[in-house]
Chain A
Amino acid sequence: MLKGKGVSSGIGFGNIIVLKKVERKIEKKTIGNEQVESELERLHEALNQVIHETEKQMKNLSGTEADIMQAYLMIMQDPSLISETENAIKNSKYNAEYAVEVGFNSVIQIFENMDDEYMASRSRDILDIKDRVLGKLLKEETIDVSNLESNTIIVATELTTSETAKLDFKNVSGIITEVGGETSHTSIMARTHTIPAITKVEGATKIFKDGDSVAINGTTGEIYIDPTEEEKNKLLDLEKQLEEEKAELEKYKNTESMTKDGTKVKLYANIGLPADAEIAVNNTAEGVGLLRSEFLYMDSDTMPSEESQFEAYKQVAEIMKDKEAIIRTLDIGGDKELKYLKLEKEANPFLGYRAIRLCLDNPTIFKTQLRAILRASAFGKLAIMFPMISSIEELRSAKQVLEECKQELDNENILYDKDIQVGIMIEIPSAALIADKLAKECDFFSIGTNDLIQYTVAVERGNEKISKLYTKYHPAVIQLIKKAIDGAHSANIICGMCGEAAGDPTFIPLLVGLGLDEFSMNSNNILRARKTINNLDKEVCVKLSEEILQMGSAEEVEKRLKAFVNN
């Protein structure tokens, strides 16, 4: 068995097709006058083939994907690009292949050198088109991913945008890639189309051969080559179970997020990318409780511009429409590094220079992001959330910078939502302990359990030797959660939670009992959480929470909560 990182859940069985990058050599030849016509003809034939293919793919697309393809089509037919390329044949007497290199590269260079990060990244789109045109000219045998045998499992180093766009999704039962993370384009598309996908499988394109029979588990990242009957049956059972659960949960798409005795809560989604907002909406999320803005910074070679951030936030605002979307400002530093931001190595990164601390210290970075969020707030219902707040001074300073940004936009006559809500993450015990004070100076809280636990019990999340000590059932953690919720309510503001605990059916009854208002979780867990909530009685949950608050041992708490769900 091989193991990678599961990025799109589900079970898939099928036969492998390996998409290999062909080693390509473009020869530079000088042609005679008599060949000019035929080379021009070859060029146009190749271009037309690619255009034709793209037009066919466009029929099945809508929204952003269709817009991207439309722009591709326009680029392929662009008069300046075509004349550059034609001139390389007509005047410089190059063969069609080399002419494509020359013509396209001149345009790619212009884009690469633009100071606008968004435009600079468009150079990759043109490069992608160039590759396809060259492929046609060289008559390379390419696997037609738009027409696959049923139950195909795709193996590739990484899928390109155009490959993913034309993928014959109904016949793909899984995707395995060597590189790419949870937020790569392929992973998002896989999740959107609910195809199991696993990434970070080193050497996958060499390990697997066309036709290999494999089974994959997109949740755990496990890959079974030539699965035994036993393995197959185990996975089939798991698949059946997943499907039954899914079908059962469908009916919770139409129910309100309310307990049996009428207490309403909000079920929100945690998302890592603008496109994930669509998945959130499909799963009936009532808002976005956490948009991790890190994707903008991690996927980039330079500090992302205000424009590119604005575009991304606007996309989220527009997808969510009148539903709230909370954007967490940059939470980076310590363990998460950025290539273009030189940070000193620290002995205790989790206790160090990160998140709001880094932002307050680098007003340019912080302001760029705040301005982008504010500008995008004119297009929907956005909210701003500051991470790692440990003191009231930090909250005040952050709000001060926000005010400066608002002032700037006012002076520039740029529209934004003047009533934009401003909240903080409660993820440091000191913040939980002064929650009632903090609540008076912001509009909402969101408890980040992952960090709150780590800081409360002094256990680093990633350290396996002590991972047993890391538990949300620790009575101290629960006391702090209660502090945060009560503090919020004393100032009449909402308290949410965006850590993993918020989506855990075992933990939800306790949270309902403590009075949590908003539960934000992975989109795929929303229906399950709604089912849990629909079957709860608030009064019973309050009694349960009172009982739990009396306990002194994490084990006891865990046992009691598990027993509660099983009854």
Chain B
Amino acid sequence: MVKDKITLKNETGLHARPASELAKLAGSFASTIKLYVNDKIIDAKSILAIMSAGIKYNTEIEIECDGEDEEKALSEIIKGFENNFEEEQK
């Protein structure tokens, strides 16, 4: 199991588009991926769970990946957050 923390820099929070990109990305890995936000545990593969958590700008998020591809999953997801899921948009 691997973990890391990031702070959400997407000014509008995790709205529909970034949430759907995050869920899509998370869904492409075999590992279980969880987000720990303000005492809530969120399944990163569920767009509804991400959206309904209402994560706002500047919130700290801990990402936890567990499974065979955990290292790659973690680094890709961190990268996604850093780019505000922009690249996936194209």
**Residues on A close to B: CB < 8 A?**
67-68, 70-71, 74-75, 78-81, 107, 110-111, 114-116, 118-119, 122, 126, 307, 310-311, 314, 375, 414
Known contacts A78-B48, A80-B49, A119-B52: A71-B17 contact under CB 8 Å: yes
List residues 22-47 of chain B with CB under 8 A from any CB of chain A: 23-24, 43, 45-47
Contact A78 B47 (CB under 8 A): yes
Question: Are B48 and A307 in touch, CB under 8 angstroms?
Answer: no
Q: A111-B52, A114-B52, A119-B54 are in contact. Are A71 and B47 (CB under 8 A)?
A: yes
Q: Is the CB of A71 within 8 A of B19?
A: yes
Contact with A along B53-77 (1 / 0, CB 8 A): 0100000000000000000000000
A116 B54 Cβ-Cβ under 8 A: yes
Asked if A75 contacts B48 (CB within 8 A), the reply is yes
**9 closest Cβ contacts across the A-B interface?**
A74-B47, A71-B20, A80-B46, A71-B16, A74-B20, A78-B48, A110-B52, A67-B17, A78-B46
Q: Name 28 A/B residue pairs within 8 A (Cβ), A-sorted.
A: A67-B16, A68-B16, A70-B17, A70-B20, A71-B16, A71-B19, A74-B20, A74-B47, A75-B47, A75-B48, A78-B23, A78-B48, A78-B49, A80-B46, A80-B48, A110-B52, A111-B51, A111-B52, A114-B52, A116-B54, A119-B52, A122-B16, A122-B51, A126-B48, A307-B12, A310-B12, A311-B15, A414-B11
Residues of A within 8 A of B23 (CB): 74, 78
Number of A-B contacts (CB under 8 A): 62
Known A-B contacts: A74-B24, A119-B52, A307-B13. Give 9 more (CB < 8 A): A70-B17, A71-B47, A80-B46, A80-B49, A116-B13, A116-B54, A122-B51, A307-B12, A311-B12
Within 8 Å CB of A110, what residues of B?
48, 52
With a cutoff of 8 Å between Cβ atoms, the chain B residues found around residue A115 in the complex are 54
**Which residues of A have CB within 8 Å of B20?**
67, 70-71, 74
How far apart are A495's CB and chain B's nearest CB, in angstroms? Answer: 34
Q: Which residues of the partner chain B approach A70 to less than 8 Å between Cβ atoms?
A: 17, 20, 24
Q: State the CA gap A79–B42 with chains docked (Å).
A: 12
CA distance A75 to B89 in the complex (A): 17
Known interface pairs A70-B20, A71-B20; A107-B48 also in contact (CB < 8 Å)? yes
> Which secondary structure characterizes the binding site on chain A?
helix
A271 to nearest B CB, angstroms? 21
The closest CB in chain B to the CB of A413 belongs to B58
- How far does the Cβ of A84 sit from chain B's closest Cβ, in whole Å? 9
A79 touches B16 (CB 8 A): no
CB nearest neighbor in B for A126: B48
Query: Using Cβ atoms and an 8 Å threshold, which residues of chain B touch A126?
Result: 48
B17 cross-chain contacts in A, Cβ below 8 A: 67, 70-71
Return the chain B residue nearest A111 by Cβ: B52
Query: In the complex, how many angstroms separate the beta carbon of A316 from the nearest chain B beta carbon?
Result: 14
**Which interface residue of B12, B45, B47, B52 has the most chain A CB atoms within 10 A?**
B47
Which of chain B's residues have a CB closer than 8 A to the CB of A311?
12, 15
**CB < 8 Å neighbour of B11 from A74, A111, A119, A375:** A375
If A68-B16, A307-B12 touch, does A119 touch B51 (CB 8 Å cutoff)? Answer: yes
- A111–B51 Cα distance when bound, in Å, is 9
- Cβ distance B49 to chain A, nearest Cβ, rounded Å: 5
Q: Given A74, A79, A122, which contacts B43 in the complex, CB threshold below 8 Å? A: A79
How far is B24's CA from A198's CA once the two chains are assembled, in angstroms? Answer: 39
Contacts of A114 in B (CB 8 A): 52, 54
Give Cα A165 to B87, complex, Å.
25
Query: Which of B49, B52, B89 has the most C-beta atoms of chain A within 10 angstroms of its own C-beta?
Result: B52
